[in-house]
A and B are shown apart, each in its own frame.
Chain A
Amino acid sequence: MFILVVLIITGITYLIYKMGNPAYKRTRFKGQPFISGNAPFKDPGRMHVGGDNLFWGFTNALKRYFDPLVKGHTGIVNDYVYWFIVTMAVILMYIYVTL
């Protein structure tokens, strides 16, 4: 009786196995019942923090200072000339008033 049960279960298991995807490849998550929990650490020897990430916290906290500063450096030559003329006006007025 016991042997008969084993044969029936083996047969059912075989039928289920045959119904599976023949293109299946074993990876970490496929075939595992639980996929949450801590991801394994990457190899520390391969990790590197990128340039923009290094002081992100600092620059983000001072966003109200950095944003206008960066936007002010437009790369447009008209603005370069504008600052030249504005500075000239300020310097000449200061010299005229104080000297």
Chain B
Amino acid sequence: MNFVEHAPTLILGLPLLFAFLIPLLGRISKDMRDILFLMGLLLTGLFVGIMAYEVLTVGGWTYVFGASTSEPTNPITSYFRITFVADGFSVLATLTIALVALGAGLFSFDYMAGHAALDKFYSLFLLTLAGVNGMVLTGDLFNLFVWFEVTSIASCGLIAFTNYRGKSVEAALKYMILSVLGGLFLLISIGLLYGQYGVVNYKLLSDGIAGSPGLFVNKLALGILLLVFGMKASTVPMHMWAPDAYSESPGPATPLIAITSLGSLFVLFRLTFGVYGVNMGPGVIGTILIILGVLSMFIGVSMALVQSDLKRLIAYLSVSQVGYMTMAVGVALTTWTAEGINGYGIMAMEGGLFHMINDGVYKALLFLAAIAVIHATGKRDLNELGGLAHKMPYTTVFFLLGALSIAGIPPLSGFSSKLLIYQSVYLYHPILAIIALVVSIVTLAVICKAFFNAFLGPDQGQTKGEVPKGMLIAMGLLTVVLIIFTLFPHYVVAEIVVPAIRALGVIP
């Protein structure tokens, strides 16, 4: 068996397999349950690495279930079989997801220790991981819908996991209602496109749309797709589910729920570039993304400023960061024509996509550090916290690094990606750069508030000491990745981000 060729399907097949094995074998031994969960995470990460190496050194490929050829030339292969795309963009997306899942998974061993129904937690965790990997790897719309549903159902279970807390169940209910609504509209848009073109494969749909871009059905499906994945990515004004879901989900599940939002943003960009492409008004799509991005940046950070719940504060910052990526990619789309994309458009793409992998890592670190604080003190209200740096020095450093990175403070990696965004959007329109800078300044104020209130000041005896070592190791892992991104941003852009842009067909 050629593992390299089968890597795209193993990336989602293995967590799926372990998700179903854990509740069965977990009844025999708790150690076996933990080992299976760890194996699920590590093997997924391993195959992401294998796929990344192959794509970046040899080239990408399309994986078709049960077909002898990977190219969609055979009608049966193209029309009915399940396809997965292994290219630079998939590498960027799955790498981001794998890093966050590994960090959150390692964190959960100590955090969830002693919790009842742990096999169900691990199972839901791996199902969510499989679902979001499926969303970003799939090469056809119907399977996108299937993985969208898998992600939504598993995430909903994770959010409601601590069902003895009323707020968790309520947050899950809200998430479920919006996910069902989004899923239904997604299905409607797939039906519209399938009815018109008779295909659901991205490549064949793209060819069909390029042949008749002016059709009303194209516009309707486009609007719905932008809406559904904009909502899942928590762009303003469809972001309101995110602070509820992020703040009420059990600790280690929070970064994973956040990464499903980022996964939706990856899908949104794949669809706008890969399916609708240059023939279907990229300027109009770009303008919509810029508006959603600016709203998300400004309203997200404004709401973060008035929060006193630590997790909710980071959740609103997360909404704000999604705005940066959406705006940057929107600017790139507006400059895209049949002749190609201009210089600052490429820079905006680089900034936007680099910010996505950056954001995945530092946001997960920030969430985990906040969860460590809540775990150690039992408190999440900033009015009640204080002086934790005395007893929790490692968590303090992890939180500070994540916080400075999200605020775009040099030399951390958040600064590198934001600088690319500032420069490129300035060339598009200076007002966008000014908004981005103001939002960064307010973000700094927000993280100063969180850091000052939780960690500085006199020791108030709220905790006896640091969180367990397993949780520190998980945060340490993400910190190492953050430091690598900080030290070698040019390498990350050249080796991971540029191939992703190339895979979207923006540059040759």
Residues of A whose CB lies within 8 Å of any CB of B are: 45-52, 54-55, 58-59, 65-66, 69-70, 73, 75, 77, 79-81, 83-84, 86-88, 91-92, 94-96, 98-99
Partner of A69, one of B173, B227, B284, B299: B299
Output the least CB separation between B430 and chain A (Å). Answer: 23
**Are B288 and A54 in touch, CB under 8 angstroms?**
no
- Majority SS at the chain A contact face: helix
**Are B177 and A55 in touch, CB under 8 angstroms?**
no
Kindly state whether residue B381 has any CB partner on chain A within 8 Å: yes
Query: Which residues from chain A contact B445 at a C-beta distance below 8 Å?
Result: 55, 58
Partner of B224, one of A46, A73, A88, A99: A88
Complex: how many Å from CA A89 to CA B173? 24
Residues of B whose CB lies within 8 Å of any CB of A are: 173-174, 177-178, 181, 185, 214, 216, 219-220, 222-224, 226-227, 230-231, 237-238, 240-241, 243-244, 280-281, 284, 287-288, 299, 302-303, 305-306, 308, 381-383, 385-387, 445, 448-449, 452-453, 456-458, 460
Query: Which residues from chain A contact B243 at a C-beta distance below 8 Å?
Result: 73
- Could you jot down 17 A-B contacts, CB within 8 Å? A47-B457, A47-B458, A48-B457, A48-B458, A49-B453, A52-B308, A54-B449, A54-B452, A54-B453, A73-B240, A77-B174, A80-B177, A84-B231, A91-B223, A91-B227, A92-B224, A95-B222
**Are B174 and A88 in touch, CB under 8 angstroms?**
no
Query: Which residues from chain A contact B231 at a C-beta distance below 8 Å?
Result: 84, 87
Partner of A50, one of B214, B219, B241, B383: B383
Complex: how many Å from CA A55 to CA B442? 11
Query: Which residues from chain A contact B452 at a C-beta distance below 8 Å?
Result: 49, 54
Output the least CB separation between B452 and chain A (Å). Answer: 7
**Are B299 and A48 in touch, CB under 8 angstroms?**
no
Complex: how many Å from CA A69 to CA B173? 23
Query: Which residues from chain A contact B386 at a C-beta distance below 8 Å?
Result: 48
Complex: how many Å from CA A77 to CA B179? 12
Complex: how many Å from CA A79 to CA B238? 10
Query: Which residues from chain A contact B178 at a C-beta distance below 8 Å?
Result: 77, 80-81, 84
- Given known pairs A77-B173, A84-B178, A84-B238, the reply for A59 and B305 (CB within 8 Å) is yes
